[in-house]
Amino acid sequence: MGEFVKLEISDGIGTIRLDRPPMNPLNTQVQEELREAANSAAGSDVVKAIVVYGGEKVFAAGADITEFTTQTYQDMTVRAGALSGAFDAVARIPKPVVAAITGYALGGGCELALACDWRVVADDAKLGQPEIRLGLIPGAGGTQRLARLVGPAKAKDLIFSGRMVDAEEALRIGLADRVVPAGEVYQAAIELVKPFVKGPSLALRAAKQAIDAGLNMDLASGLALESQLFASLFATDDRVEGTSAFVAKRKPTFTGR
């Protein structure tokens, strides 16, 4: 486990916990520990679903700006790919992933939330991409994932202005999936992914791959990928169990094989 990012596992759910008080700034060390935790969660047979959580007070308030004051163009041409890759490691976890957002999810914090499949947001939380106010743009997926999630016009509104949105607006535009009282965020995130712990892991993996990869393809290519993944599941024990259980009118017991 890293110094600031830990993977905690309980009842088949892995929690990727950010713990760099007071605001969980995402410096280079945090980024690399996040990549390591994401890869560990992805490769673990025990972990069936993941919650990304910053704690009761804040999700993550963005990059560690003190690092930016000394970095040059030459420095960032080397680092930018690794920065984006750390968040991409979360996006590529082939399991259901939910962000549990309290306090602030700004800049890199918002980009980390965007790398998850869903976002459970505290009713007093604030989200946004304020990089423009530093003379920058989002550099860890914000311009791409936000536009795909809420549409290009709304993404331009948020990114061009750098303004924060509250939970109500986030829910209205599709940036949040559920809004709950602040004290209930983590448990609500757990409840969202708990049904997948005993689900057909290989089918869930295939569904996520088909949706995420298909968004970057034309329709014909996406349909071809879907067909390939659909057919591949006929080689799994879970497909045999699921179809047999349906015919026998009983509840299936999936093994992830």
Q: What is the mean pLDDT of the chain?
A: 95
Q: Are residues 41 and 151 in the same domain?
A: yes
Q: Which of 196, 215, 239 is the last residue of a domain?
A: 196
- Mean pLDDT of all residues in 194-215: 97
Quick one: angle between helices 237-248 and 201-214, nearest 10? 110
In the structure, what pLDDT confidence band is assigned to residue 8 with cuts at 50, 70 and 90? very high
Is 168 tagged catalytic?
Answer: no
pTM across the whole model: 0.94
Side-chain-side CA neighbours of residue 192 (13 Å): 24
**Residue 143: in which H helix or E strand, if any?**
helix 142-150
**Mean predicted confidence (pLDDT) in 129-134:** 96
Strand order in the sheet with 164-166: 104-106, 126-128, 164-166
92 domain residue, yes or no: yes
63: DSSP letter:
B
| 253 in a structural domain | no
Quote the CA–CA distance of 79 and 82 in Å, as a whole number: 5
Q: Is 63 a catalytic residue?
A: yes
Specify the number of domains making up the chain: 2
49 is catalytic: no
> Using an 8 Å Cβ cutoff, are 55 and 24 in contact?
yes
Active site residue 111: yes
- Closest of 177, 189, 121, 188 to residue 150, by C-alpha: 177
Q: Which of 41, 42, 131, 188 is catalytic?
A: 131
Residues whose CB falls within 8 Å of the CB of residue 220, separated by 6 or more in sequence, listed in order? none
Does residue 165 sit in the same domain as residue 91?
yes
Structure tokens at 23: 């605001």
The reply to whether 95 falls in a domain is yes
**Residue where a domain stops, chosen among 196, 215, 236:** 196
| Two structure tokens written together for 188 | 């609500």
- The active-site residue out of 60, 99, 103, 111 is 111
Instruction: Supply the pLDDT for residue 74.
Output: 86
Which of 178, 196, 214 is at the close of a domain?
196
> What is the spatial distance between Cα 52 and Cα 43, in angstroms, rounded to a whole number?
16
Residue 128 falls inside a structural domain: yes
Residue 87: what pLDDT? Answer: 95
- Asked whether the predicted pLDDT for residue 71 surpasses 90, the reply is no
For residue 163, the enclosing domain spans 5-196
Q: Which of 108, 109, 128, 199 is catalytic?
A: 108
- Predicted confidence at residue 21, as pLDDT, reads 94
- The reply to whether 99 and 35 lie within a common domain is yes
- Which of the four pLDDT bands, split at 50, 70 and 90, describes residue 78? confident
Closest CA to 195 of 113, 251, 114, 115: 251
112 with 182, same domain: the answer is: yes
Q: List the Cα angle 65/27/40 in 5-degree steps.
A: 155
- Asked whether residue 84 falls in the same domain as residue 169, the answer is yes
> Beta partners for 165?
127
Has residue 257 been placed in a domain?
A: no
For residue 131, the tally of other CB atoms under 10 A from its CB is 24
Q: Could you tell me if 174 and 206 lie in one domain?
A: no
pLDDT band at 207 (very low <50, low <70, confident <90, very high): very high
d(CA 102, CA 121): 6
Both 215 and 124 in a single domain?
A: no
Which segments of 195-236 does DSSP mark as H helices, in order?
201-214, 219-232
CATH number at residue 209: 1.10.12.10
Closest CA to 167 of 120, 135, 118: 120
Residue 253 makes CB contacts below 8 A (sequence gap 6+) with 241, 245
How far from chain centre, in Å, is Cα 29? 19
Output the six-digit token pair for 49. Answer: 């679903």
Which amino acid would we find at residue 59? F
Q: Are residues 146 and 239 in the same domain?
A: no
> Are 167 and 207 found together in one domain?
no
pLDDT at 55: 96
How much is the pLDDT for 65? 80
The per-residue pLDDT for 218 is 96
Q: Do residue 138 and residue 220 come from a single domain?
A: no
What is the structure's pLDDT at 66? 80
pLDDT at 25 over 90: yes
Predicted local distance difference test score (pLDDT) of residue 3 = 95
Q: What pLDDT is attached to residue 77?
A: 85
| pLDDT over threshold 90, residue 80 | no
Q: What CATH number corresponds to the domain at position 90? A: 3.90.226.10
Residue 64 above 80 pLDDT?
Answer: no
Select which of 37, 49, 63, 189 is catalytic: 63
- Asked whether residue 254 is domain-assigned, the answer is no
**179 occurs within a structural domain:** yes
Q: Where are the alpha helices (DSSP H) in 20-128?
A: 28-43, 65-68, 73-91, 108-114
69-73, 151-155, 156-160, range with the lowest pLDDT: 69-73
Residue 212 covered by a domain:
yes
190, pLDDT greater than 80: yes
Confidence category of residue 106, pLDDT binned at 50, 70, 90: very high
**Is 79 in the same domain as 205?**
no
Is there a single domain that holds both residue 230 and residue 107? no
What's the pLDDT at 46?
97
- What confidence tens digit (pLDDT) does each residue in 37-62 have? 999 999 999 999 999 999 999 999 98
